[in-house]
Amino acid sequence: MSKVGAERDHSFNPDIPVPRPIEPLDAPPHLDFFPAHPGRTAGTRTAADIFSVVVHATAADNPATSTGAFFQSPPEDPKDVGSAQLTVDNDLCIRSVADLGIANGVPPLNQEGLHIEQRGLGEFPREKWLGERRNTMLRCAFHVAKWCTTFDIPIRFLEVADLEAEGEKARGITTHANVSNAFGESTHQDPGPDYPIDVLLEDIERFARGDEMTDEEKAQLAEALRSAQRFEDYLKGENSAIAGDSPPDQAAPDAFKRGFQNAHRFLRFAEEDEMTDEEKAQLAEALRSAQRFEDYLKGENSAIAGDSPPDQAAPDAFKRGFQNAQRFLR
């Protein structure tokens, strides 16, 4: 039995809230944002060493950023060296350890497993996971599906008996609880007895089945994300202009510089109509971008909530946002 690494210790999880914007479900994990402390990992491996995915819950109800910050902190106790590749909550996904890094998730499946933490308590009832925490599960499923595709892991749930029969090289998806109960090297029972693993597996199947988006749909989604970026740049520019900052220097990204200039003109516009027709068109385009982004997010939220498609009375932009989000979630 491999003894690589130690175990993720659920007993300490300080609440360090770090506000981050809500992101679309496929937003890339913050690989550079929360790298785990080297003392919480156990070296590296190759793709051929990876056999399984282990699903966890943090056993604390702190934001993913808090768990990420905890994994960044130097271990204070030799028993307290845990980590995971990813942590998800309703709003975002934190990357702490590279896929080819060995996280201290749960022995003996550290070397063989990819570990994902979900914000949540072991005693959460099924309705809570399927209700208020649905997005956490979707986010988890999205990343597990990606792993299954990338590392050729079958979408097959490994029960305790499967792990006992096949050992640490068993191929599939399991939970920390099953690893504890099969190998006896841990006592943790996350993600909890009422965790809807059946629904998670359906979600994983759906995400892995595929990319059913056409090229045109992908282009629409890319445009929605570009809109979002333009809007963020515009807001950053507006905030700077309101604060009376000086114009961004040459090193600032072009989009932010444009946002700043637009915002500047806009603020001045209140007193004196100095905008040229071209500038007015730019401002109108920035506001349309913002609207498209809002429509897209509204659509995403509705699709996640499982609402039925918008009826004929819904504004076109919202209908498009809803359809994009639905395709994307599927």
Residues within window 44-73 making contact with Zn ion, judged by CB under 5 A? 56
Q: How would you list the strands of the sheet with 93-95, edge to edge?
A: 93-95, 86-88, 113-118, 52-57, 172-175
Minimum gap (Å) between residue 59 Cβ and Zn ion: 7
Does residue 238 interact with Zn ion by CB under 5 A? Answer: no
Does residue 133 interact with Zn ion by CB under 5 A? Answer: no
Does residue 119 interact with Zn ion by CB under 5 A? Answer: no
Give the distance from CA 153 to its chain's centroid: 20
Minimum gap (Å) between residue 180 Cβ and Zn ion: 8
Does residue 203 interact with Zn ion by CB under 5 A? Answer: no
Minimum gap (Å) between residue 2 Cβ and Zn ion: 18
**Residue-wise DSSP of 110-126:** TTTEEEEEESB-TT--H
Does residue 115 interact with Zn ion by CB under 5 A? Answer: no
For Zn ion, the closer of residues 168 and 190 by Cβ is 190
Does residue 190 interact with Zn ion by CB under 5 A? Answer: yes
Cα dihedral 83, 189, 3, 99 sign: negative
Minimum gap (Å) between residue 70 Cβ and Zn ion: 13
Which backbone phi and psi does 270 adopt, to 5 degrees?
Answer: -60, -35
For Zn ion, the closer of residues 119 and 188 by Cβ is 188
Does residue 176 interact with Zn ion by CB under 5 A? Answer: yes
Contact 96/125 with Cβ under 8 angstroms? no
For Zn ion, the closer of residues 172 and 259 by Cβ is 172
Contact 172/201 with Cβ under 8 angstroms? no
| Spatial separation of the C-alpha atoms in residues 327 and 100, rounded to whole Å | 30
**Cα–Cα–Cα angle for 84, 22, 128, rounded to 5 degrees:** 70
Count of CB atoms situated within 10 Å of the CB of 238? 18
Q: What letter would DSSP give residue 157?
A: B
For Zn ion, the closer of residues 119 and 236 by Cβ is 119
Contact 325/138 with Cβ under 8 angstroms? no
Does residue 80 interact with Zn ion by CB under 5 A? Answer: no
For Zn ion, the closer of residues 105 and 259 by Cβ is 105
Does residue 7 interact with Zn ion by CB under 5 A? Answer: no
Does residue 295 interact with Zn ion by CB under 5 A? Answer: no
For Zn ion, the closer of residues 178 and 289 by Cβ is 178
Minimum gap (Å) between residue 188 Cβ and Zn ion: 5
The residue ranges that bind Zn ion (CB under 5 A) are: 56, 176, 188, 190
